Amino acid sequence: MKKLLVSLLLIGVGVANANAHGHYGFWGPALIGGAIGYSLSRPYYPPVYVAPPPVYYQPPPVYYYQQQPPVQYTAPAPVCSAWTETVNPDGTVTKTRNCN
């Protein structure tokens, strides 16, 4: 759109200068030719849309656990020796035994 407006403006200036008598009459056609040459010399590249690359998301790993029934731990029964009786010098009796 800008190029069209500038071209029309230069054409108007060129027509006005072409009618003028004097040595400035060649500026109008020179400006018009320059504008046309400039607009034709610039390459026109249409806008190009480039899609962004796809993004891949890996889902997190899923772990399945089987719930085991609770294990009942019981303490082993103590292993004890038989009772032994000891008579002290004062006449008292003491009972003892050893347990592992």
Q: What is the pLDDT of residues 24-62, one digit of tens each?
A: 667 777 888 888 888 778 777 788 889 999 999 999 999
C-alpha R_g of the chain: 56
Predicted TM-score (pTM) above 0.75:
no
What is the number of other CB atoms lying within 10 angstroms of the CB of residue 50?
Answer: 5
Rounded to whole angstroms, the Cα distance separating 45 from 38 reads: 15
Q: Which of 7-11, 25-29, 66-70 has the highest mean pLDDT?
A: 66-70
Q: Which domain holds residue 35?
A: 2-41
Structurally, the chain folds into a number of domains equal to 1
Structural domain contains residue 24: yes
Structural domain contains residue 64: no
